Structure 1
Amino acid sequence: MRFGVYHVIMSFVSRRHFLNTSGATLFATQTLGQAANSKRIKAAQIGTKHPHAEGKFTTMLDLDDVFEVVGLCEEDNTQRERVSTRRSYQSSTWLTEDQILGDPEVKLVAIETDIDHLVPTALRCLKAGKHIHLDKPAGQKLAPCKEMHHEADRRGLTIQMGYMLRYNPAFEFLFKIVKEGWLGEITEVHGHMGKKASSGLRKELSQYPGGGLFELACHLIDALVTILGKPNDVHGVHVKTQRDAFKDNQIATFQFDGALATIGSNHNDPFGGPRRQFTVVGTEGTLAIQPLEPPKVSLALTKDRGKLKRGTQQIPMPKTEGRYHGEFRDLAKIVKGEKSLAWNSEHDLIVQESLMLASGLPLDD
Structure 2
Amino acid sequence: MVEAIASQNPEDHCMNQKTKEKTISRRSMVSRGFTASAGLITSGLLPTAHGILPATPKIRIGQIGTSHPHASGKLAAIRGLDDIFELVGVVEPDEVQRQKIADKDVYRDVTWMSQNDLLNSNVAAIAVETQVSQLVPTAMQCLTAGKHIHLDKPAGMSLPACRAMHEQAKQKDVTVQMGYMLRYNPAFALLFDIVKKGWLGRITEVTAEMGKLANDSLRQELSEFSGGGMFELACHLIDAMVTILGRPEKITAHNRSSYPNKDSFLDNQLAVFDYPHAIATVRCNHIDPFGFPRRHFNVVGEQGTFQINPLEPPKVSLALDRPRGNFKKGFQDIEIPTSGGRYDAEFEDLANVIRGQKELAWNSEHDVTVQESILLASGMELSPNSLPIQQNNDAK
Bigger CA drift: 300-309 or 59-68?
300-309
Distance 2:339 2:206 in 1: 25
Distance 1:185 1:215 in 2: 30
Distance 1:8 1:19 in 2: 17
Inter-CA distance 121–192: structure 2 relative to 1 (3 Å threshold): same
Instruction: Spell out the pairing of 1:79-94 with structure 2 (5 A cutoff).
Output: 79-94=97-112
- Tell me which residue corresponds to 1:26: none
- Tell me which residue corresponds to 1:291: 310
Matched residue of 1:246: which SS? coil
Distance 2:109 2:34 in 1: 42
- Tell me which residue corresponds to 2:342: 323
1:229 corresponds to 2:246? yes
* Residue number among 134, 151, 154 corresponding to 1:137 in the alignment: 154
1:55 corresponds to 2:73? yes
Aligned-residue offset at 1:248 = 0.7
For the 8 Å contact 1:135–1:162, the answer to whether it is kept is: yes
- Tell me which residue corresponds to 1:249: 268
1:357 corresponds to 2:376? yes
Matched residue of 2:299: which SS? strand
* Residue number among 300, 309, 319 corresponding to 2:328 in the alignment: 309
Matched residue of 2:150: which SS? strand
- Tell me which residue corresponds to 1:25: none
Q: How many residues align?
A: 347
Identity among equivalent positions (%) equals 52
For the 8 Å contact 2:35–2:335, the answer to whether it is kept is: no
Matched residue of 1:278: which SS? strand
Matched residue of 2:342: which SS? coil
Structure 2, unmatched stretches of 5+, are 1-32, 386-396
Aligned-residue offset at 1:14 = 3.0
Distance 1:205 1:10 in 2: 37
For the 8 Å contact 2:34–2:337, the answer to whether it is kept is: no
Structure 1, unmatched stretches of 5+, are 1-5, 21-28
- Tell me which residue corresponds to 2:223: 206
For the 8 Å contact 1:18–1:320, the answer to whether it is kept is: no
Distance 1:241 1:209 in 2: 14
- Tell me which residue corresponds to 2:27: none
Distance 1:10 1:268 in 2: 35
- Tell me which residue corresponds to 2:123: 106
Distance 2:204 2:273 in 1: 12
Distance 1:7 1:273 in 2: 26
Distance 1:39 1:98 in 2: 24
Matched residue of 1:273: which SS? coil
Aligned-residue offset at 1:9 = 2.2
Q: Which has the higher contact order (CA 8 A, sep 6+)?
A: 2
Deviations 1:39-75 (A, max 9, x none): 0000000000000000000110000010000110001
Aligned-residue offset at 1:154 = 1.3
Aligned-residue offset at 1:307 = 2.6
Deviations 1:10-46 (A, max 9, x none): 21333868959xxxxxxxx4xx78x82x400000000
Task: Return the letter of the residue paired with 1:186.
Answer: I
Instruction: Spell out the pairing of 1:156-171 with structure 2 (5 A cutoff).
Output: 156-171=173-188
Matched residue of 1:42: which SS? strand
Distance 1:306 1:332 in 2: 31
For the 8 Å contact 1:101–1:125, the answer to whether it is kept is: yes
For the 8 Å contact 1:115–1:139, the answer to whether it is kept is: yes
Instruction: Spell out the pairing of 1:156-195 with structure 2 (5 A cutoff).
Output: 156-195=173-212
For the 8 Å contact 1:44–1:71, the answer to whether it is kept is: yes
Which of the pair is proportionally richer in helix? 1
- Tell me which residue corresponds to 1:24: none
Matched residue of 1:361: which SS? coil
- Tell me which residue corresponds to 2:9: none
1:14 corresponds to 2:16? no
Q: Over the residues paired in the alignment, what is the CA RMSD in angstroms?
A: 1.6
Distance 2:351 2:88 in 1: 15
1:77 corresponds to 2:104? no
- Tell me which residue corresponds to 1:346: 365
* Residue number among 67, 70, 73 corresponding to 2:85 in the alignment: 67
Matched residue of 1:75: which SS? coil
Deviations 1:102-135 (A, max 9, x none): 01x2000000000000000000000000000000
Task: Return the letter of the residue paired with 2:36.
Answer: I
Distance 1:324 1:263 in 2: 23
Inter-CA distance 179–18: structure 2 relative to 1 (3 Å threshold): closer
Instruction: Spell out the pairing of 1:120-135 with structure 2 (5 A cutoff).
Output: 120-135=137-152
Task: Return the letter of the residue paired with 1:48.
Answer: T
Distance 1:263 1:333 in 2: 32
Deviations 1:130-149 (A, max 9, x none): 00000000001111111100
Aligned-residue offset at 1:78 = 1.0
For the 8 Å contact 1:42–1:67, the answer to whether it is kept is: yes
